A and B are shown apart, each in its own frame.
Chain A
Protein backbone atom coordinates (compact mmCIF):
# COMPACT_ATOMS: atom_id res chain seq x y z
CA UNK A 1 0.00 0.00 0.00
CA UNK A 2 1.48 3.32 -1.10
CA UNK A 3 0.83 6.95 -0.42
CA UNK A 4 0.49 9.54 -3.18
CA UNK A 5 4.29 9.71 -3.42
CA UNK A 6 4.48 6.01 -4.24
CA UNK A 7 6.15 5.40 -0.89
CA UNK A 8 5.21 2.21 0.90
CA UNK A 9 3.17 2.82 4.04
CA UNK A 10 1.73 -0.59 4.83
CA UNK A 11 1.79 -4.22 3.80
CA UNK A 12 -0.24 -7.28 4.62
CA UNK A 13 -2.11 -10.25 3.23
CA UNK A 14 -5.38 -9.94 1.31
CA UNK A 15 -7.83 -12.83 1.11
CA UNK A 16 -10.71 -12.72 -1.36
CA UNK A 17 -13.60 -14.37 0.46
CA UNK A 18 -16.33 -13.65 -2.08
CA UNK A 19 -17.20 -11.54 -5.09
CA UNK A 20 -17.12 -8.34 -3.02
CA UNK A 21 -15.82 -9.62 0.29
CA UNK A 22 -12.22 -9.29 1.45
CA UNK A 23 -10.35 -10.09 4.64
CA UNK A 24 -6.96 -8.44 4.97
CA UNK A 25 -4.19 -7.84 7.43
CA UNK A 26 -1.93 -4.84 7.96
CA UNK A 27 1.50 -4.47 9.53
CA UNK A 28 1.68 -4.29 13.33
CA UNK A 29 -0.06 -1.27 14.78
CA UNK A 30 -1.15 0.09 11.40
CA UNK A 31 -4.74 -1.11 11.18
CA UNK A 32 -6.33 2.13 12.37
CA UNK A 33 -4.38 4.27 9.90
CA UNK A 34 -5.05 1.87 7.04
CA UNK A 35 -8.79 2.00 7.70
CA UNK A 36 -8.53 5.78 7.47
CA UNK A 37 -6.38 5.52 4.29
CA UNK A 38 -9.11 3.50 2.59
CA UNK A 39 -11.88 5.83 3.72
CA UNK A 40 -9.85 8.89 2.66
CA UNK A 41 -9.13 7.59 -0.83
CA UNK A 42 -12.74 6.58 -1.48
CA UNK A 43 -14.40 9.66 -0.07
CA UNK A 44 -15.41 11.38 -3.32
CA UNK A 45 -16.10 8.39 -5.55
CA UNK A 46 -19.48 7.20 -4.32
CA UNK A 47 -18.03 3.99 -2.92
CA UNK A 48 -20.45 1.87 -0.91
CA UNK A 49 -18.68 -0.57 1.36
CA UNK A 50 -18.46 -1.73 4.94
CA UNK A 51 -15.06 -1.82 6.62
CA UNK A 52 -14.54 -3.13 10.14
CA UNK A 53 -11.27 -3.13 12.06
CA UNK A 54 -11.19 -6.59 13.66
CA UNK A 55 -7.70 -6.28 15.12
CA UNK A 56 -8.82 -6.67 18.70
CA UNK A 57 -11.34 -9.36 17.79
CA UNK A 58 -8.67 -11.82 16.70
CA UNK A 59 -5.76 -13.46 18.39
CA UNK A 60 -3.17 -14.62 15.89
CA UNK A 61 -0.89 -17.59 16.45
CA UNK A 62 1.88 -18.41 13.98
CA UNK A 63 2.94 -22.05 14.04
CA UNK A 64 6.11 -22.52 12.00
CA UNK A 65 8.70 -25.14 11.25
CA UNK A 66 9.10 -28.49 9.52
CA UNK A 67 6.63 -30.18 11.88
CA UNK A 68 4.01 -27.42 11.81
CA UNK A 69 1.54 -29.47 9.77
CA UNK A 70 1.96 -32.51 12.02
CA UNK A 71 1.19 -30.45 15.11
CA UNK A 72 -1.76 -28.70 13.54
CA UNK A 73 -3.16 -32.00 12.27
CA UNK A 74 -3.54 -33.15 15.87
CA UNK A 75 -5.77 -30.18 16.66
CA UNK A 76 -7.88 -29.74 13.52
CA UNK A 77 -9.80 -32.13 11.30
CA UNK A 78 -8.69 -30.60 8.01
CA UNK A 79 -6.69 -31.89 5.03
CA UNK A 80 -3.37 -30.09 5.42
CA UNK A 81 -1.68 -31.64 2.39
CA UNK A 82 -0.10 -29.18 -0.02
CA UNK A 83 -2.74 -30.02 -2.60
CA UNK A 84 -5.61 -29.17 -0.29
CA UNK A 85 -3.94 -26.31 1.56
CA UNK A 86 -1.07 -24.97 -0.56
CA UNK A 87 1.39 -22.18 0.15
CA UNK A 88 -0.45 -18.82 0.01
CA UNK A 89 -3.69 -20.70 0.65
CA UNK A 90 -6.49 -19.76 3.01
CA UNK A 91 -8.95 -22.00 4.82
CA UNK A 92 -11.71 -21.60 7.37
CA UNK A 93 -12.49 -24.37 9.83
CA UNK A 94 -13.56 -25.08 13.39
CA UNK A 95 -11.57 -26.51 16.26
CA UNK A 96 -13.69 -28.97 18.24
CA UNK A 97 -16.71 -27.82 16.26
CA UNK A 98 -16.63 -24.60 18.29
CA UNK A 99 -13.72 -22.27 17.64
CA UNK A 100 -13.87 -20.60 14.23
CA UNK A 101 -10.43 -20.32 12.67
CA UNK A 102 -9.26 -18.34 9.67
CA UNK A 103 -5.99 -19.96 8.61
CA UNK A 104 -3.39 -18.64 6.18
CA UNK A 105 -0.50 -20.75 4.97
CA UNK A 106 2.33 -18.24 4.77
CA UNK A 107 6.08 -18.24 5.23
CA UNK A 108 7.33 -15.00 6.71
CA UNK A 109 10.07 -16.84 8.62
CA UNK A 110 10.93 -18.99 5.63
CA UNK A 111 9.55 -22.27 6.94
CA UNK A 112 6.30 -24.15 6.59
CA UNK A 113 3.95 -21.87 8.54
CA UNK A 114 0.31 -21.49 9.41
CA UNK A 115 -1.10 -18.24 10.72
CA UNK A 116 -4.20 -19.02 12.77
CA UNK A 117 -6.65 -16.18 13.38
CA UNK A 118 -8.97 -17.13 16.23
CA UNK A 119 -11.51 -15.23 18.34
CA UNK A 120 -9.59 -13.30 20.99
CA UNK A 121 -11.40 -14.91 23.89
CA UNK A 122 -10.35 -18.38 22.71
CA UNK A 123 -6.71 -17.54 21.96
CA UNK A 124 -5.37 -18.96 25.22
CA UNK A 125 -7.32 -22.20 24.70
CA UNK A 126 -5.95 -22.64 21.17
CA UNK A 127 -2.43 -21.79 22.32
CA UNK A 128 -2.66 -24.44 25.07
CA UNK A 129 -3.96 -27.02 22.59
CA UNK A 130 -1.11 -26.38 20.16
CA UNK A 131 1.50 -26.53 22.91
CA UNK A 132 0.09 -29.83 24.12
CA UNK A 133 -0.10 -31.23 20.59
CA UNK A 134 3.41 -30.09 19.80
CA UNK A 135 5.07 -31.47 22.93
CA UNK A 136 6.07 -34.71 21.22
CA UNK A 137 7.77 -32.68 18.46
CA UNK A 138 9.64 -30.41 20.88
CA UNK A 139 7.52 -27.34 20.11
CA UNK A 140 8.90 -24.10 21.56
CA UNK A 141 7.78 -20.49 21.75
CA UNK A 142 9.67 -18.07 19.56
CA UNK A 143 9.91 -14.33 19.96
CA UNK A 144 10.21 -11.37 17.66
CA UNK A 145 14.03 -11.37 17.56
CA UNK A 146 14.09 -14.97 16.29
CA UNK A 147 11.37 -13.97 13.83
CA UNK A 148 13.42 -10.94 12.82
CA UNK A 149 16.53 -12.98 12.00
CA UNK A 150 14.63 -15.75 10.21
CA UNK A 151 12.73 -13.34 7.99
CA UNK A 152 15.94 -11.37 7.36
CA UNK A 153 17.61 -14.56 6.07
CA UNK A 154 14.74 -14.75 3.57
CA UNK A 155 14.96 -11.01 2.82
CA UNK A 156 11.32 -10.52 3.76
CA UNK A 157 11.04 -6.85 4.57
CA UNK A 158 9.56 -5.17 7.63
CA UNK A 159 8.36 -1.68 6.85
CA UNK A 160 10.19 0.75 9.08
CA UNK A 161 13.23 -1.52 9.18
CA UNK A 162 13.90 -1.96 5.46
CA UNK A 163 12.07 1.22 4.53
CA UNK A 164 11.74 4.80 5.64
CA UNK A 165 9.47 7.65 4.65
CA UNK A 166 11.05 8.09 1.20
CA UNK A 167 11.20 4.41 0.22
CA UNK A 168 8.88 3.57 -2.62
CA UNK A 169 7.59 0.28 -3.98
CA UNK A 170 10.28 0.11 -6.67
CA UNK A 171 13.10 0.81 -4.21
CA UNK A 172 12.12 -2.32 -2.29
CA UNK A 173 12.06 -4.45 -5.44
CA UNK A 174 8.31 -4.91 -5.10
CA UNK A 175 7.38 -3.30 -8.41
CA UNK A 176 5.75 -6.55 -9.51
CA UNK A 177 2.89 -5.73 -7.13
CA UNK A 178 1.99 -2.65 -9.18
CA UNK A 179 -0.71 -3.34 -11.77
CA UNK A 180 0.45 -1.08 -14.58
CA UNK A 181 -2.65 -1.86 -16.64
CA UNK A 182 -4.90 -0.23 -14.07
CA UNK A 183 -5.66 3.46 -14.53
CA UNK A 184 -3.31 5.73 -12.60
CA UNK A 185 -6.33 7.49 -11.12
CA UNK A 186 -7.32 4.19 -9.48
CA UNK A 187 -3.86 3.39 -8.13
CA UNK A 188 -2.65 5.56 -5.28
CA UNK A 189 0.96 6.50 -5.95
CA UNK A 190 1.08 5.38 -9.61
CA UNK A 191 1.89 8.83 -11.02
CA UNK A 192 4.81 9.23 -8.62
CA UNK A 193 6.06 5.70 -9.29
CA UNK A 194 6.14 6.30 -13.07
CA UNK A 195 8.28 9.37 -12.43
CA UNK A 196 10.51 7.61 -9.90
CA UNK A 197 11.30 4.86 -12.42
CA UNK A 198 13.51 7.35 -14.24
CA UNK A 199 15.24 8.67 -11.12
CA UNK A 200 18.91 7.78 -10.72
CA UNK A 201 20.48 7.59 -7.31
CA UNK A 202 17.44 6.58 -5.30
CA UNK A 203 18.12 4.32 -2.33
CA UNK A 204 17.62 0.69 -3.37
CA UNK A 205 17.26 -2.33 -1.12
CA UNK A 206 20.12 -4.79 -1.53
CA UNK A 207 21.46 -7.87 0.21
CA UNK A 208 24.89 -7.49 1.78
CA UNK A 209 27.42 -9.84 3.37
CA UNK A 210 30.25 -8.72 5.62
CA UNK A 211 33.80 -9.56 4.63
CA UNK A 212 34.24 -10.78 8.21
CA UNK A 213 31.39 -13.16 9.02
CA UNK A 214 32.07 -12.77 12.72
CA UNK A 215 31.41 -9.04 12.68
CA UNK A 216 27.94 -8.10 11.54
CA UNK A 217 27.38 -4.36 11.29
CA UNK A 218 24.85 -2.76 13.57
CA UNK A 219 21.38 -1.93 12.30
CA UNK A 220 21.46 1.67 11.14
CA UNK A 221 25.20 1.80 10.45
CA UNK A 222 26.03 4.19 7.62
CA UNK A 223 27.34 3.19 4.21
CA UNK A 224 29.87 5.81 3.18
CA UNK A 225 32.66 6.81 0.84
CA UNK A 226 33.40 10.50 1.06
CA UNK A 227 29.76 11.06 1.95
CA UNK A 228 26.81 9.05 3.21
CA UNK A 229 25.59 6.67 0.47
CA UNK A 230 23.06 4.59 2.39
CA UNK A 231 22.59 2.60 5.59
CA UNK A 232 22.34 -0.91 6.94
CA UNK A 233 18.69 -1.79 7.57
CA UNK A 234 18.94 -5.11 9.39
CA UNK A 235 22.00 -7.31 9.80
CA UNK A 236 22.71 -10.40 11.89
CA UNK A 237 24.97 -13.40 11.88
CA UNK A 238 22.62 -15.90 10.26
CA UNK A 239 21.60 -18.84 12.45
CA UNK A 240 21.26 -20.99 9.37
CA UNK A 241 24.32 -20.15 7.26
CA UNK A 242 26.78 -18.71 9.78
CA UNK A 243 27.28 -15.70 7.50
CA UNK A 244 26.99 -12.08 8.61
CA UNK A 245 24.29 -10.98 6.20
CA UNK A 246 21.62 -8.37 6.02
CA UNK A 247 19.78 -5.83 3.96
CA UNK A 248 20.78 -2.25 3.26
CA UNK A 249 19.36 0.74 1.44
CA UNK A 250 22.08 2.12 -0.85
CA UNK A 251 22.20 4.60 -3.70
CA UNK A 252 21.40 2.80 -6.92
CA UNK A 253 24.95 3.27 -8.26
CA UNK A 254 26.13 0.96 -5.45
CA UNK A 255 23.44 -1.67 -5.90
CA UNK A 256 25.16 -4.04 -8.32
CA UNK A 257 26.08 -7.51 -7.06
CA UNK A 258 29.70 -7.60 -5.92
CA UNK A 259 29.99 -3.89 -5.12
CA UNK A 260 32.24 -3.32 -2.11
CA UNK A 261 30.63 -1.17 0.57
CA UNK A 262 32.36 0.79 3.32
CA UNK A 263 30.48 0.93 6.61
CA UNK A 264 30.78 3.51 9.35
CA UNK A 265 29.50 2.76 12.84
CA UNK A 266 29.14 5.12 15.79
CA UNK A 267 32.30 5.14 17.94
CA UNK A 268 34.28 3.14 15.38
CA UNK A 269 37.34 5.30 15.98
CA UNK A 270 38.05 5.52 12.29
CA UNK A 271 38.00 1.77 11.76
CA UNK A 272 35.64 1.00 8.89
CA UNK A 273 33.89 -2.30 8.18
CA UNK A 274 33.46 -3.72 4.69
CA UNK A 275 30.76 -5.73 2.99
CA UNK A 276 29.74 -6.69 -0.52
CA UNK A 277 26.40 -6.58 -2.26
CA UNK A 278 25.12 -10.15 -2.67
CA UNK A 279 22.05 -11.81 -4.12
CA UNK A 280 18.89 -12.14 -2.04
CA UNK A 281 17.64 -14.21 -0.27
CA UNK A 282 20.35 -15.80 1.83
CA UNK A 283 18.50 -18.96 2.79
CA UNK A 284 16.40 -21.50 0.89
CA UNK A 285 16.68 -19.54 -2.35
CA UNK A 286 13.89 -21.41 -4.13
CA UNK A 287 11.53 -21.23 -1.17
CA UNK A 288 11.20 -24.98 -1.01
CA UNK A 289 10.99 -25.11 2.78
CA UNK A 290 7.97 -22.86 3.09
CA UNK A 291 6.30 -24.35 0.02
CA UNK A 292 6.98 -28.02 0.79
Chain B
Protein backbone atom coordinates (compact mmCIF):
# COMPACT_ATOMS: atom_id res chain seq x y z
CA UNK B 1 0.00 0.00 0.00
CA UNK B 2 1.23 3.50 -0.83
CA UNK B 3 2.87 5.76 1.72
CA UNK B 4 0.80 8.60 3.14
CA UNK B 5 2.57 11.70 1.98
CA UNK B 6 1.41 15.28 1.43
CA UNK B 7 2.62 17.26 -1.55
CA UNK B 8 3.32 20.96 -1.42
CA UNK B 9 2.00 22.97 -4.38
CA UNK B 10 5.55 24.18 -5.01
CA UNK B 11 8.74 22.26 -5.68
CA UNK B 12 12.22 23.76 -5.58
CA UNK B 13 14.87 22.30 -7.85
CA UNK B 14 17.29 21.88 -4.94
CA UNK B 15 16.82 19.35 -2.15
CA UNK B 16 16.98 20.44 1.49
CA UNK B 17 19.85 19.36 3.75
CA UNK B 18 17.63 18.96 6.76
CA UNK B 19 13.95 18.00 6.79
CA UNK B 20 11.31 17.01 9.29
CA UNK B 21 8.10 15.08 8.66
CA UNK B 22 5.20 16.88 10.29
CA UNK B 23 1.60 15.71 9.79
CA UNK B 24 2.81 13.89 6.65
CA UNK B 25 4.33 17.08 5.21
CA UNK B 26 8.05 16.90 4.52
CA UNK B 27 9.10 20.27 5.92
CA UNK B 28 12.39 21.68 4.62
CA UNK B 29 14.28 23.08 7.60
CA UNK B 30 17.58 24.03 5.94
CA UNK B 31 19.25 24.02 2.54
CA UNK B 32 22.97 23.56 1.89
CA UNK B 33 23.36 26.91 0.21
CA UNK B 34 20.95 29.58 1.38
CA UNK B 35 23.22 32.54 0.64
CA UNK B 36 22.99 35.95 2.28
CA UNK B 37 19.45 36.68 1.21
CA UNK B 38 16.94 37.41 -0.05
CA UNK B 39 15.24 34.10 0.70
CA UNK B 40 12.14 32.28 -0.52
CA UNK B 41 10.48 29.80 1.85
CA UNK B 42 7.70 27.33 1.15
CA UNK B 43 5.18 27.49 3.99
CA UNK B 44 2.46 25.26 2.48
CA UNK B 45 2.32 23.23 5.70
CA UNK B 46 1.41 26.24 7.88
CA UNK B 47 -2.26 26.27 8.84
CA UNK B 48 -4.47 28.98 7.35
CA UNK B 49 -8.07 29.74 8.25
CA UNK B 50 -10.79 31.75 6.60
CA UNK B 51 -13.25 33.48 8.95
CA UNK B 52 -16.52 34.93 7.66
CA UNK B 53 -19.29 36.54 9.64
CA UNK B 54 -21.55 39.53 9.27
CA UNK B 55 -20.04 40.74 12.56
CA UNK B 56 -16.53 39.49 11.97
CA UNK B 57 -15.06 42.41 13.89
CA UNK B 58 -16.50 40.97 17.11
CA UNK B 59 -14.69 37.64 16.69
CA UNK B 60 -11.45 36.95 18.64
CA UNK B 61 -9.47 34.29 16.74
CA UNK B 62 -6.79 32.87 19.04
CA UNK B 63 -7.72 35.64 21.46
CA UNK B 64 -6.52 38.27 19.00
CA UNK B 65 -8.38 41.29 17.77
CA UNK B 66 -9.78 41.39 14.24
CA UNK B 67 -8.64 44.75 12.86
CA UNK B 68 -11.42 47.18 12.02
CA UNK B 69 -10.17 48.40 8.65
CA UNK B 70 -9.82 46.20 5.58
CA UNK B 71 -6.12 45.85 4.76
CA UNK B 72 -5.09 46.01 8.42
CA UNK B 73 -3.46 43.14 10.29
CA UNK B 74 -2.89 41.98 13.84
CA UNK B 75 0.32 40.03 14.44
CA UNK B 76 1.13 38.39 17.78
CA UNK B 77 1.88 34.96 19.24
CA UNK B 78 2.95 33.63 15.80
CA UNK B 79 -0.54 34.36 14.48
CA UNK B 80 -1.48 36.84 11.81
CA UNK B 81 -5.06 38.10 11.49
CA UNK B 82 -5.77 39.95 8.23
CA UNK B 83 -8.98 41.91 7.72
CA UNK B 84 -9.99 41.36 4.08
CA UNK B 85 -13.34 43.13 3.80
CA UNK B 86 -16.55 43.87 5.71
CA UNK B 87 -17.25 40.23 6.52
CA UNK B 88 -14.05 38.27 5.96
CA UNK B 89 -10.71 37.73 7.65
CA UNK B 90 -7.80 35.43 6.89
CA UNK B 91 -5.75 33.93 9.70
CA UNK B 92 -2.23 32.52 9.27
CA UNK B 93 -0.58 30.37 11.92
CA UNK B 94 3.15 30.88 11.53
CA UNK B 95 4.47 28.84 14.46
CA UNK B 96 5.36 25.15 14.61
CA UNK B 97 1.91 24.15 15.84
CA UNK B 98 -1.58 25.57 15.34
CA UNK B 99 -4.65 25.36 17.55
CA UNK B 100 -7.69 23.30 16.58
CA UNK B 101 -10.23 24.98 14.33
CA UNK B 102 -12.72 26.82 16.58
CA UNK B 103 -16.23 25.38 16.79
CA UNK B 104 -17.89 28.27 15.00
CA UNK B 105 -19.52 27.95 11.59
CA UNK B 106 -17.68 30.92 10.12
CA UNK B 107 -14.27 29.24 10.29
CA UNK B 108 -12.92 27.16 7.41
CA UNK B 109 -9.48 25.59 7.23
CA UNK B 110 -8.14 26.69 3.84
CA UNK B 111 -4.59 25.39 4.24
CA UNK B 112 -5.04 23.06 1.28
CA UNK B 113 -6.37 25.83 -0.96
CA UNK B 114 -3.34 27.96 -1.42
CA UNK B 115 0.32 28.36 -2.12
CA UNK B 116 1.95 29.97 0.93
CA UNK B 117 5.34 31.60 0.53
CA UNK B 118 7.58 33.97 2.42
CA UNK B 119 9.99 36.24 0.54
CA UNK B 120 12.26 38.21 2.84
CA UNK B 121 15.71 39.61 3.35
CA UNK B 122 17.75 42.29 1.59
CA UNK B 123 16.19 43.59 -1.64
CA UNK B 124 13.04 41.49 -1.17
CA UNK B 125 10.86 44.34 -2.40
CA UNK B 126 13.13 45.04 -5.38
CA UNK B 127 12.11 41.58 -6.54
CA UNK B 128 8.46 42.22 -5.71
CA UNK B 129 8.48 45.40 -7.78
CA UNK B 130 9.46 43.36 -10.82
CA UNK B 131 6.39 41.18 -10.41
CA UNK B 132 3.65 43.47 -9.16
CA UNK B 133 2.48 47.05 -9.54
CA UNK B 134 1.42 47.14 -5.87
CA UNK B 135 3.29 49.72 -3.80
CA UNK B 136 4.75 47.67 -0.95
CA UNK B 137 6.96 50.53 0.22
CA UNK B 138 4.16 53.10 0.46
CA UNK B 139 5.36 55.32 3.35
CA UNK B 140 1.75 55.86 4.40
CA UNK B 141 1.40 52.19 5.25
CA UNK B 142 2.77 50.69 8.40
CA UNK B 143 3.54 46.99 8.50
CA UNK B 144 1.93 44.58 8.89
CA UNK B 145 -0.63 45.33 6.21
CA UNK B 146 -2.56 43.30 3.66
CA UNK B 147 -2.84 43.78 -0.08
CA UNK B 148 -5.30 41.77 -2.15
CA UNK B 149 -4.15 42.17 -5.69
CA UNK B 150 -2.13 40.81 -8.56
CA UNK B 151 1.36 39.39 -8.16
CA UNK B 152 2.69 37.82 -11.35
CA UNK B 153 -0.79 38.63 -12.71
CA UNK B 154 -2.30 36.18 -10.18
CA UNK B 155 -4.84 37.29 -7.54
CA UNK B 156 -2.99 37.06 -4.22
CA UNK B 157 -3.16 37.97 -0.58
CA UNK B 158 0.13 39.62 0.32
CA UNK B 159 1.01 40.62 3.86
CA UNK B 160 3.99 42.90 4.29
CA UNK B 161 5.52 42.09 7.66
CA UNK B 162 8.60 44.30 7.52
CA UNK B 163 9.79 46.99 5.12
CA UNK B 164 12.59 49.50 4.78
CA UNK B 165 13.18 52.24 2.27
CA UNK B 166 16.12 50.33 0.72
CA UNK B 167 13.74 47.54 -0.33
CA UNK B 168 14.66 45.12 2.42
CA UNK B 169 12.14 43.43 4.67
CA UNK B 170 9.71 40.73 3.70
CA UNK B 171 6.21 39.57 3.02
CA UNK B 172 3.97 36.53 2.95
CA UNK B 173 2.04 35.60 -0.15
CA UNK B 174 -0.86 33.24 -0.79
CA UNK B 175 -2.68 32.44 -4.02
CA UNK B 176 -4.63 29.54 -5.48
CA UNK B 177 -2.71 26.29 -5.21
CA UNK B 178 -2.80 25.59 -8.93
CA UNK B 179 -0.48 28.53 -9.65
CA UNK B 180 2.30 27.12 -7.44
CA UNK B 181 4.85 25.98 -9.98
CA UNK B 182 4.40 28.97 -12.30
CA UNK B 183 4.67 31.40 -9.41
CA UNK B 184 7.85 29.86 -8.04
CA UNK B 185 9.42 29.89 -11.46
CA UNK B 186 8.59 33.57 -11.97
CA UNK B 187 9.80 34.64 -8.52
CA UNK B 188 13.08 32.75 -8.69
CA UNK B 189 13.72 34.08 -12.18
CA UNK B 190 13.02 37.65 -11.09
CA UNK B 191 15.26 37.26 -8.03
CA UNK B 192 18.16 35.34 -9.56
CA UNK B 193 20.26 38.44 -10.25
CA UNK B 194 19.68 39.62 -6.67
CA UNK B 195 20.79 36.37 -5.04
CA UNK B 196 17.37 34.97 -4.22
CA UNK B 197 17.59 31.37 -3.03
CA UNK B 198 15.22 28.87 -1.43
CA UNK B 199 15.57 28.68 2.33
CA UNK B 200 14.20 26.42 5.03
CA UNK B 201 11.71 26.93 7.80
CA UNK B 202 14.45 27.60 10.37
CA UNK B 203 15.43 30.83 8.67
CA UNK B 204 11.79 31.91 8.39
CA UNK B 205 11.15 31.16 12.06
CA UNK B 206 14.17 33.21 13.09
CA UNK B 207 12.88 36.13 11.02
CA UNK B 208 9.38 36.19 12.47
CA UNK B 209 10.67 35.67 16.01
CA UNK B 210 12.79 38.78 15.48
CA UNK B 211 9.75 40.72 14.27
CA UNK B 212 7.75 39.81 17.36
CA UNK B 213 10.57 40.74 19.72
The reply to whether A121 and B1 contact each other, CB–CB distance below 8 Å, is no
Contact of A50 among B3, B106, B176 (CB under 8 A): B106
> Which residues on the B side are within 8 Å of A136 (C-beta)?
none
Chain B CB within 8 A of A57 CB? yes
> Which residues on the B side are within 8 Å of A51 (C-beta)?
52
> Which residues on the B side are within 8 Å of A56 (C-beta)?
112-114, 176-178
In residues 167-183 of chain B, which contact A (Cβ within 8 Å)?
Answer: 176-178
Chain A CB within 8 A of B53 CB? yes
State A124–B54 Cα separation when bound (angstroms). 37
State A21–B107 Cα separation when bound (angstroms). 13
Contact of A54 among B1, B2, B5, B113 (CB under 8 A): B113
The verdict on A48 contacting B105 (CB below 8 Å), with A56-B113, A57-B177 known, is no
The reply to whether A52 and B8 contact each other, CB–CB distance below 8 Å, is no
Chain B CB within 8 A of A128 CB? yes
> Which residues on the A side are within 8 Å of B97 (C-beta)?
none
Chain B CB within 8 A of A195 CB? no
Contact of A132 among B1, B9, B106 (CB under 8 A): B1
Contact of B108 among A52, A98, A123 (CB under 8 A): A52
> Which residues on the A side are within 8 Å of B15 (C-beta)?
none
> Which residues on the B side are within 8 Å of A65 (C-beta)?
none
Chain A CB within 8 A of B7 CB? yes
Chain B CB within 8 A of A58 CB? yes
Apart from A55-B113, A120-B112: 10 A-B pairs, beta carbons within 8 A: A50-B105, A56-B113, A57-B113, A96-B4, A119-B6, A120-B113, A121-B8, A122-B24, A123-B7, A129-B1
The reply to whether A98 and B4 contact each other, CB–CB distance below 8 Å, is yes
State A70–B47 Cα separation when bound (angstroms). 35
The reply to whether A124 and B112 contact each other, CB–CB distance below 8 Å, is no
Tally chain B residues at the interface, Cβ within 8 Å.
27
CB distance from B149 to the nearest CB of A (A): 16
Q: In the complex, which of the residues B2, B8, B108 has the most CB atoms of chain A within 10 Å of its own CB atom?
A: B2
In residues 3-31 of chain A, which contact B (Cβ within 8 Å)?
Answer: 20-21
State A119–B6 Cα separation when bound (angstroms). 9
The reply to whether A52 and B110 contact each other, CB–CB distance below 8 Å, is yes
Listed in ascending order, the chain A residues whose CB lies under 8 Å from chain B are: 20-21, 48, 50-58, 96, 98-99, 119-125, 128-129, 132
> Which residues on the A side are within 8 Å of B129 (C-beta)?
none
The reply to whether A57 and B4 contact each other, CB–CB distance below 8 Å, is no
Q: In the complex, which of the residues B5, B6, B53, B106 has the most CB atoms of chain A within 10 Å of its own CB atom?
A: B6
The verdict on A98 contacting B24 (CB below 8 Å), with A52-B50, A56-B176, A121-B6 known, is yes
> Which residues on the A side are within 8 Å of B2 (C-beta)?
125, 128-129, 132
Chain A CB within 8 A of B25 CB? yes
The reply to whether B4 and A99 contact each other, CB–CB distance below 8 Å, is yes
State A56–B44 Cα separation when bound (angstroms). 13
> Which residues on the A side are within 8 Å of B110 (C-beta)?
52, 54, 57
The verdict on A50 contacting B52 (CB below 8 Å), with A56-B112, A98-B24 known, is yes
In residues 32-58 of chain B, which contact A (Cβ within 8 Å)?
Answer: 44, 50, 52-54
CB distance from B181 to the nearest CB of A (A): 13
State A125–B24 Cα separation when bound (angstroms). 11
